[in-house]
A and B are shown apart, each in its own frame.
Chain A
Amino acid sequence: MEGQGGSEAPLLPLVAKGDARAMKRCIDQYAPLVWSIVNRRINVQRDAEETCQEIFTEIWQKASKFNSSKSKESTFIGLIARRRSIDWLRKQNRLPPLATLDHLDDHASPQSLAGNAIDRGKLWEMLGKLPSKTLELFSLHFEKGMTHEEISGQTGIPLGTVKTQLRRGLIEARKLLKDFWAETDQEVAT
């Protein structure tokens, strides 16, 4: 999946202008990615398909928030797909939804943690420095789409510990990337 959508000119700026043909190309290009993300979490076929439709509706409505200096197009679309899928799961558990992307363009950070400022190879080289336990939890959560409860069931790690370790792993991952950029900035400055 690496590099998906990264080599071609982004479609979302055209979608933001209301170009329905660009939206069609966007669906053609990203439907397999969106389906992959949704299908890992939503096990009711009809709900999964309706969620995909809602995701593309949201992409149509929020395409203007895409900033190519901040993220790759596939990451932006993955973010929406992930949020919608998680909201579906939260709804099943009677939890309030978390989906909002309104703040995506409010921050003037020159570099985002997964933006185009760094190529994906470097990004994953950095993340490879994480402890193996963290990488294993990441794999179960992000690759297999497992809930915390499912991870706990499979690994035997208490539920609360799974939650804490995933959160701390994410914090650690972000710190690694921030340190990397701080070093890169210094090198550029000198």
Chain B
Amino acid sequence: MSKADSYDTFLELDAGRALGDLSPDELKEWEELAAIHQDEDPTGFDFLVAELEVHNATTTSVPPSLSSLLSETIHEFSNDKEEKKDPAPVSNNISIFPWLGWAAAACLLIFFNPFGQKPPKEIIQELTASEKLETLLDEAPLATQSLAFSPASDLYKEVTGEVIWNDDRQEGYMKLSNLPANDPNQNQYQLWIVDPERDELPVDGGVFDFPSESDVAVIPIRNALPVNKPVAFVITLEQPGGVVRSKQEIVVALAKTS
């Protein structure tokens, strides 16, 4: 194969790599040719396909279940930040592309464990919800609002507690007492956050259980979407896993601004 032919083949395989359509044999050939054509910009096709993808993407609303999942992830990122270190600076003296020779092996490693770090999912929760609430109150007492819960019906007349919420940190907790224990297989409690400036529909604040042995429970709020000026927090009883939109058939408690 002449050098020109080799370059043409490399370009075609590199385009295939960016498109994600390389067969295992082509991947091997690409690795060999990439080692020869080191002067080629290794990112040109990548950014180009990404630009094509982003330009053509149609914004679709994120499903509530994904919003909840990402909200959980945000809490884990907060826990992870102490562990995050600035990466070592990249030396300009490195003239070879380190990705060339070991790309396939590195791909596998990166795929399963990028940078050798534990993904946030696996980070052990160091603080309990109570401890996190104390931290929030210590660190941002002025920006944190507190509202008392009132029972919404006779069935829940013993329920007491408060909701503590911080707009800036998008972080909040409920402290609840005397809530009847639920059977998670039958139903679960769900919090709703009313933020009229955002939407007339309340934002899902997360599904939670109240175990029988609890006197006072501190429950973190897992808002599916950002809320800025909440005026009320409502607890309902819903089917296991919660609902996207509550019919408010069983309203347990309510906390609202005066």
Measured CB to CB, the residues of A under 8 A from B are 1-2, 4, 16-21, 23-24, 27-28, 31-33, 35-37, 39, 45, 49-50, 52-54, 56-58, 60-62, 64, 70-72, 74-76, 78-79, 81-83, 86-87, 89-90, 95-100, 102-109, 112-115, 120, 123-124, 127, 138-139, 141-143, 148, 163-164, 166-168, 170-171, 173-174, 177
Given contacts A97-B107, A103-B98, contact A138 B74 (CB under 8 A): no
Neighbouring A residues of B86 by C-beta, 8 Å: 16-17, 64
Neighbouring B residues of A20 by C-beta, 8 Å: 74, 77-78, 80-81
Given contacts A103-B42, A103-B98, A163-B16, contact A60 B69 (CB under 8 A): no
Neighbouring B residues of A45 by C-beta, 8 Å: 63, 65
Chain B: number of interface residues, binned into ranges: 35 or more
Q: 9 smallest A-B Cβ distances: which pairs? A: A86-B20, A114-B51, A79-B50, A18-B84, A78-B54, A143-B56, A103-B99, A167-B15, A20-B78
* Contact indicator B21/A148 (Cβ below 8 Å): yes
B25-51 vs A, CB cutoff 8 Å, 1 = contact: the mask equals 001000000000000011111111111
B75-97 vs A, CB cutoff 8 Å, 1 = contact: the mask equals 00110111010110010101001
Neighbouring B residues of A163 by C-beta, 8 Å: 16, 21
* Contact indicator A49/B47 (Cβ below 8 Å): no
Contact of B53 among A56, A97, A142, A170 (CB under 8 A): A142
Q: Which residue of B lies closest to A164 (CB)?
A: B12
Contact of B120 among A57, A76, A108, A168 (CB under 8 A): A57
Neighbouring B residues of A127 by C-beta, 8 Å: 52
* Contact indicator A57/B66 (Cβ below 8 Å): no
Contact of A53 among B70, B90, B111, B226 (CB under 8 A): B70
Q: How far is the CB of A116 from chain B (nearest CB, A)?
A: 11
Q: How far is the CB of A137 from chain B (nearest CB, A)?
A: 11
* Contact indicator B44/A100 (Cβ below 8 Å): no
* Contact indicator B98/A106 (Cβ below 8 Å): yes
Q: How far is the CB of A81 from chain B (nearest CB, A)?
A: 8
Further contacts, 10 of them, CB under 8 A, given A1-B54, A45-B65, A114-B51: A18-B82, A31-B67, A32-B62, A57-B114, A60-B120, A71-B51, A79-B53, A104-B43, A113-B48, A163-B16
